[in-house]
Amino acid sequence: MLRLLFPYLLFGFLLLVIATDHVGGGPDDIAGKKVVRRDPICNMDVGLQRTAEVDGVVYAFCSEKCRKTFVAHPEKYLRDHCPVCKADRGALVETGPASPAFTWQGRTYRFCSAEHRDLFAKSPADYFIHSMWGIPSWLYGLSIGILLVLTFGLFEVLHRIARKRSFPPPRPDLFRIPYLLAVLRWPPFRFLAQLVFVLLFLLIVLAGLFGNQLASKNVAPLLTWTIWWGGLVVLIMFLGKAWCYVCPWDAIAGWIEKLKFFGTTKNGLSLGLPWPKALRNILIATIFFVGLTWLELGFGVTMDPRTTALLGLLMLGLAVVSALIFERRAFCRYACLVGRVSGLYAMFAATELRPKNREVCKSCTSKDCYHGNERGDPCPTGLFPAALSQNTYCIDCFECVKSCPEDNFAFRLRPWAADLAQSFRPRKDEAYLALLMLAITGFHGLTMTPAWREMLGFFERDFGLAYLPGFSLGMALLMVIPILIYAALVWIGSSWAGNPNAGFRKSFLAFAYSVLPIALFYHLAHNSEHLLMEGQKVLPLLSNPFGFIPGEPWNILGFRGTGPWDIFGTADLEPAPLVTLPTLWIVQVLLILIGHIYSLWVADRTAHRLHRDAKAAFKSQVPMLAGMVLFSIFSLWLLKQPMEMRTSAM
């Protein structure tokens, strides 16, 4: 029962910690004094928990470190300096009225030289760096100590006890909640749920294309890359592929192909061609995933409203074209990068859609759950729902629930990692995507640290590589090296085990799934920084989503006006982060430790599936255990580093 309740107890505890954290909001003036909420040291927007006053102005700080730095030499940080020199962390060069100048977003900046002015003019947002201090050294050391104890001590003891007395927890059926099943079977319900997200998608597209191109003034980047991408991870952990139920790309593609908004359709506009056999894997989705990461981090598309909108339209175009050409929802199953990444993560989810009684399914002759009937469409991704045993490719559309004549489907709560712990047939394409997800989550965090800037500088100095070739080379190395290390560890483990029935290839594919919890929880830990420190900015942005500024005209598809909007009366809000840095650090460390434990547990279950002999299973697992410890320590090291982000998104 504890395994079943643990996800809810954990997140309940985290929400309690966040809710009781004293951020220090307060008014914009303290006893009539002007308040500056942007930390002058790290440029982060903060609450009023830590302040210092200079010449009647109160300045807020993210941490005691920033406050002490400012108090020591306030004049150093209150003068105007060349933005390029300051962003490069070099000497702070004074500027004057005669210095070269450049006006951007209604503000004039002065520079130490014409060369720096020209550099700034090419991409102004690149020179507004927001720094967030990493976890302190004492917490880093303590976390590693706890990690090692959990790995080699307490975890093994508890796991041996669990193996001796293993009672499967109950899996309550959520369809027993009154009216839930009736609501899901009501044809317009999914349309109404999809409509909400389609409208949000259209808002993102219009704001990205026609709004202010400064990311901090435009709702598109924040709503996409912070709220949606960060919140998606939390959603997957509890409700699996629930995003697919409301996905705006699939919704619009389905409406176009069916020529109707809801209800079953026998003859739509689709040509119904089969998806090419050579591509009946997730290779295309993997290529899209790597490509999006390259664009996101190499070109800074998360800071570009217009590119964010264009990427959304590209995904829509791919979904529509696929729906009109191929049978069912081939794009969702094989090519959608969001669906495939969330599909692997959904193996960890705390819910599952499964047949209640498989014997009932065996005796069913109509197979309506697969073929569809007047109550529900055929399974969109071509699964046979009666044999469903994993969350990976099910998109939780509930069409099988509607069409089943025996009412034989249940939507159950279950423990985390249930799919990963059971016996299943590993797939080569899924295994490589799981390893890439692990590598890319680490790479994503590394690119925000000073270490990454030093690596790019090394490529430029010693190899003469410009930024883009150097970035591409660094990304390639940091994706390939973790996979090679993993392969070496698996080879050592399979050699030690000496089991010819579980050789290198079989072990390579099976153990790859055990890294998913580490990747998932680091992904959540990293994105919690953005969600909790930046997510609150959505309140003012929803009132003025296009970022219109006073006195400037705007034009949206022929509709014209002047000046800003204030739809909800929140456009002038300056909300403080949802947590303070010390609380954020504790949340992040806790998530890393939990992900590590789950990966160890899944690896142990995998080893015992591969090897019947307990000693062979232990030998095969030891190198993987060492690798997981190293990656978790690396994750903690990333959290220790000061993260650098462009403040246009803050």
Residue 371 in tokens: 């073929």
DSSP conformation letters of 502-541: G-HHHHHHHHHGGGHHHHHHHHHHHHHHHHHHHGGGHHHH
pLDDT in tens, 455-472: 988 998 888 898 889 999
The Cα 404–Cα 193 span in angstroms is 22
The Cα 286–Cα 632 span in angstroms is 24
Enumerate the H helices of 175-228 as residue ranges. Answer: 180-185, 187-210, 219-221
Q: What is the mean pLDDT of residues 246-252?
A: 96
Contact in structure between 334 and 284 (CB atoms under 8 Å):
yes
Q: Find how far residue 168's CA is from the centre of its chain.
A: 31
Residue 599 in tokens: 């990966």
Contact in structure between 644 and 129 (CB atoms under 8 Å):
yes
Rounded to a whole number of angstroms, the distance between the first and last alpha carbons of the chain is 42
Does residue 425 come out as left (phi exceeding 0), alpha (psi in the -120 to 50 range) or beta? beta
The Cα 85–Cα 127 span in angstroms is 9
Contact in structure between 211 and 547 (CB atoms under 8 Å):
yes
| Residue 65, pLDDT above cutoff 90 | no
The Cβ of residue 165 has, within 10 Å, a number of other Cβ atoms equal to: 6
Residue 226 in tokens: 């912070």
Q: What is the mean pLDDT of residues 149-154?
A: 77
pLDDT in tens, 127-145: 766 677 788 889 999 999 9
Sign of CA dihedral 287, 291, 292, 297: positive
Enumerate the H helices of 211-357 as residue ranges. Answer: 219-221, 229-239, 242-246, 248-258, 283-298, 305-325, 330, 337-345
Output the CA–CA distances (angstroms, integers) from residue 136 to 23, 51, 139, 444, 636, in the order listed: 19, 21, 5, 21, 11
Q: What is the mean pLDDT of residues 312-323?
A: 96
Residue 486 in tokens: 């993993």
550 CB-side CA count, 13 A: 2
The Cα 260–Cα 237 span in angstroms is 32
Q: Find how far residue 327's CA is from the centre of its chain.
A: 30
Least confident of 24-33, 200-209, 228-237, 577-586: 24-33
Class of domain 351-414: alpha beta
Least confident of 4-13, 316-325, 635-644: 635-644
Q: Which of 635, 576, 590 is nearest to 35 (CA)?
A: 576
Residue 320 in tokens: 């529509």
What is the reported pLDDT for 391? Answer: 94
Beta-carbon contacts of 279 under 8 Å, excluding residues fewer than 6 positions away, are: 334
DSSP conformation letters of 80-135: -B-HHHHHTTS---B--TTS-EEEETTEEEE-SSHHHHHHHHH-GGGG-EEEE---
* Banded model confidence at residue 299, pLDDT cuts 50, 70, 90: confident
The Cα 61–Cα 25 span in angstroms is 12
Q: pTM for the whole thing?
A: 0.88
Contact in structure between 391 and 343 (CB atoms under 8 Å):
yes
* Banded model confidence at residue 647, pLDDT cuts 50, 70, 90: very low
What is the reported pLDDT for 648? Answer: 43
pLDDT in tens, 335-354: 999 999 999 999 999 999 99
CA torsion angle 249 252 254 255 (round to 10): 170
The Cα 227–Cα 623 span in angstroms is 37
Convert 463-481 to b/e letters by CB count within 10 Å (16 or more is b): eebeeeebbeebbeebbee
Sign of CA dihedral 379, 383, 385, 389: negative
Beta-carbon contacts of 53 under 8 Å, excluding residues fewer than 6 positions away, are: 33, 59
What is the reported pLDDT for 128? Answer: 65
Output the CA–CA distances (angstroms, integers) from residue 604 to 524, 561, 586, 611, in the order listed: 23, 63, 27, 11
The Cα 385–Cα 394 span in angstroms is 9
| Domain chopping of the chain, boundaries | 28-78, 79-131, 137-163+428-642, 185-263+274-346, 351-414
- Looking up tokens 């003068």 gives 79
The more confidently predicted of residues 248 and 78 is 248
Least confident of 173-177, 261-265, 429-433: 261-265
Residue 104 in tokens: 């951007």
pLDDT in tens, 473-528: 999 999 999 999 999 999 999 999 988 888 999 999 999 999 999 999 999 999 99
